[in-house]
Amino acid sequence: MKISNIHEAKSQLSKLIESALAGEEIIIAKAGKPLVRLIPYHEQIQSRKPGGWEGKVVMSDDFDDDLPPELLAGFIGKEAE
């Protein structure tokens, strides 16, 4: 693990990035206090599986019976009458 102060990190950013990409953990500190960790970015390619809440959420039959007209208008993008 390498600890670098902010000033050093600004002037040596390219080298710090190379070290992080090589697997080294880089900590950037201010006044000796660790602030952030520099790590490689890994794109997460996960497809979302729809339907995870199916059967877990129940809406009552009268859910929208007393819906104020101005609120309904807002939901459908119109001005209230």
In a domain? residue 62 = no
Range of the domain at 17: 2-38
Q: Which residue type, as a one-letter code, is found at position 53?
A: W
User: How many domains, in total, are found in the chain?
Assistant: 1
Kindly report, residue by residue over 41-50, the tens digit of the pLDDT: 888 777 878 8
Identify the CATH number of the domain in which residue 6 sits. Answer: 3.40.1620.10
DSSP 8-state symbol, 69: H
Q: Where are the beta strands (DSSP E) in 6-80?
A: 26-30, 33-38
In a domain? residue 54 = no
Kindly report, residue by residue over 4-55, the tens digit of the pLDDT: 999 999 999 999 999 999 999 999 999 999 999 999 988 877 787 888 888 8
DSSP 8-state symbol, 55: T
Q: Is the distance from CB of 37 to CB of 49 less than 8 angstroms?
A: no
In a domain? residue 21 = yes
